[in-house]
Amino acid sequence: MIVKETKLKGCFVLEPKVFNDERGYFMESFNKEQFNSAIGSNIEFVQDNQSLSAKGVVRALHYQVGEFAQAKLVRVLKGSVLDVVVDLRPNSPTFGEHLTMELSEVNRKQLFIPKGFAHGFLAVEDNTVFAYKCDQYYNKEAERGIIYDDPNLRIDWEFPKDQLILSEKDKELPLFKNLSL
């Protein structure tokens, strides 16, 4: 596994070693010991989630607060996404900055998102299957979000805005400046 820290401290891109042959491929998608050693932390994942999205679906920008804040390891099993993270850690030198990257079944990259980040993605292919591990259980009362098109964040979703598909809940999320940590 190749692990590289992104411009946002504590946020890592992971690229598994893939073994291809005439049968297809094999890869180890997660190894707790190697993972924790590579990121320099001890993460205990307790919940796995998976979603199926049509092309143009935006699921963003979500986070949990307090004792329910979540670190996540995300990847795409089928299709492709534009993955987006925003640093919400007030004492971080990259507070308010974001990172976008493609995650796909082809590049097989994974992204580790530490606690204190908002996360979202845009499905750029139909039938995209997105999977993520979380180190805390979901808690509805701790759930928060930021509107995907916040003018201060200036996230380029690289997709026509009139073709985006959002849940009603995600359409009503607050602005970054009204952040609730």
Instruction: Please name the residues in contact with 119: beta carbons below 8 A apart, sequence gap of 6 or more.
Output: 60, 61, 62, 63, 72, 74, 83, 84, 85, 86, 113
Q: How far is CA 140 from the centre of its chain?
A: 18
Q: What distance in Å separates the CA atoms of residue 173 and residue 60, rounded to the nearest whole number?
A: 9
> Could you tell me if 12 and 4 are in contact, meaning their C-beta atoms sit under 8 angstroms apart?
yes
Beta bridge pairs of residue 98: 86
So which residues are the catalytic ones?
Answer: 62, 132
Three-state secondary-structure class, residue 134: strand
Residue in the block written with tokens 């026509």: 160
